[in-house]
Amino acid sequence: MRTRFKHKFYFTLFVSLLLFSHCQKEIVPEPYKPSNSHDAYVHSLRSAGLAQTAIARDWIRASENAIKNPVDVEPPFEETFYVDHAAAFAVAYHFSVIKGQRVEIDVAFDGQKRCRLFMDLFRVRGLSYEDWRLVASANNNEKHLEFEPKQNAEYVLRLQPELLRGGRFTITIRNMASLGFPVLGYDHRAIGSGFGVSRDGGRRKHHGVDVFTKRHTPVIAPSKAFVRRVSESDIGGLNIWLHDQKRGLHLYFAHLQTQEVKKNTYVEPGQRIGTVGNTGNARRTPPHLHFGIYASGEGPVDPVNFIKEINSTPKEITADMAMLGRWARAKQSNVSLNASAASRSLKITRLDSQSAMKVQAASGNMYRILLPDGLSGYVPFHSIESAEETLEIQQAEIVQEVKAAPMEQAAVVETINGGEEFAVLGQFAGYWLVRIHQKKLGWLPIMTASTTER
């Protein structure tokens, strides 16, 4: 009896467990949702089984290397660079932005009719690029980005055309004030009293800037905003409060002579809202506008960087664009390779005479070049020349392998026989950059040939 009961119990338990397991919901992983178009493109390559191809691996590696080694630039900045459609290319730019400024980034393209360009902007934080935060991306075929930082910060912009697309690109990075100047016809030079100075014998601080102008000078809206208050007080006199909802800013205009807007209405940038006066506690001072900015959740902030006019015209590119994408060589010894195109740039190294390099981009009077060992930097455009003209003719002493790069383990691109002539175009790391059979380029060790003509 006890045995029969035990068998029945285990049978019932087994059936219950079987039914329970069939009732469990199948766990399906959430579909991958890329955070930007660049990640979506990489995901599409992997989904199509193309990510393991050599060209796709090189493309992904180029994007990672670019963001690890960005070029330091100072806006306003403009650079034109050339991309070979067969090459895996990416470039990144590192720059700083001050709170209150707006950054505008534009890319012009001259090449194939359709070329998708990935533009991703990261805010630098932490020691590793993996900790950086993506703050903006261009969508689809857009080649424009703009943003306004919430704090002083450093940013890295990565640009990369899609696979098998190339051409000539010009990038322009501009910093400018995010708000217009609040007094018509004037700029920051009219500010006579700055933010944070002591008032009333040190009992309080000045939470704004004073713009001194003639009485009745028009006061204008610095941005599109909502009129929150039109009032009068003992300290501010006739005053107006605007709310810039886009930026989360409250704009305060005090000591006005007139108020020319109504509460609960909207104003457009540049719209007249009143005139300069000296009402309130400014009766004993010359007419001026007290302008203050209060950030939501932060309190008063210095308005200067929001309204100070900035030079947004980049330096004109005077370097010869015809050199882009071509081989060049140093004209003389001690050519300085700089970390950036800025005049006070850090010097990376010095190049020997006839050092061979690939010209990647032009900015101002500088070329961004790539050395055969992968080192990149900027050189003055007048310090290099085209490597298409022959320096001298050499003759191989024995059968020699012409390499794809100036290193022993590089791939072989051609073989030349003893007595065969070749043209020397430049040199690097103990190798000659040579042209064989009238057109093919490669590298030969310097000591493996004898001069037949100079």
pLDDT of residue 112 exceeding 80, the answer is no
The reported pLDDT for the residue numbered 17 is: 46
- The span from the CA of 284 to the CA of 418, in Å, is 96
- The span from the CA of 299 to the CA of 304, in Å, is 15
Q: pLDDT tens across 354-381, in order?
A: 999 999 999 999 999 999 999 999 999 9
Going by pLDDT thresholds of 50, 70 and 90, the confidence category of residue 8 is low
pLDDT of residue 251 exceeding 80, the answer is yes
pLDDT of residue 454 exceeding 50, the answer is no
Q: pLDDT tens across 157-181, in order?
A: 999 999 988 899 999 999 999 999 9
Per CATH, the homologous superfamily of domain 321-386 is SH3 Domains (2.30.30.40)
The reported pLDDT for the residue numbered 390 is: 95
Greatest mean pLDDT among 15-24, 112-121, 188-197, 209-218 lies in 209-218
Q: What CATH number does the domain located at 37-177 have?
A: 2.60.120.510
Mean pLDDT of the chain: 89
Q: How many residues does the chain have?
A: 454
The reported pLDDT for the residue numbered 130 is: 83
Going by pLDDT thresholds of 50, 70 and 90, the confidence category of residue 202 is low
- The span from the CA of 271 to the CA of 253, in Å, is 14
The CATH number for 392-453, chosen from 1.10.3720.10, 3.90.1490.10, 2.30.30.40, 3.40.50.300, is 2.30.30.40
- The span from the CA of 219 to the CA of 224, in Å, is 14
Helices 54-68, 37-47: crossing angle, 10 deg rounding: 150
Q: pLDDT tens across 380-390, in order?
A: 999 999 999 99
Structure tokens at 180: 């217009």
Per CATH, the homologous superfamily of domain 188-307 is Glucose Permease (Domain IIA) (2.70.70.10)
The reported pLDDT for the residue numbered 33 is: 67
Beta-bridge mates of residue 122: 134, 156
Relative to beta strand 384-386, strand 392-396 is unpaired
Topology match between the domains 188-307 and 392-453 = no
| Residues whose CB is less than 8 angstroms from the CB of residue 226 and which lie 6 or more positions away in sequence, other chains included | 242, 243, 245, 264, 265, 266
The reported pLDDT for the residue numbered 37 is: 86
Going by pLDDT thresholds of 50, 70 and 90, the confidence category of residue 453 is very low
Going by pLDDT thresholds of 50, 70 and 90, the confidence category of residue 438 is confident
Residue ranges per structural domain of the chain: 37-177, 188-307, 321-386, 392-453
Going by pLDDT thresholds of 50, 70 and 90, the confidence category of residue 13 is very low
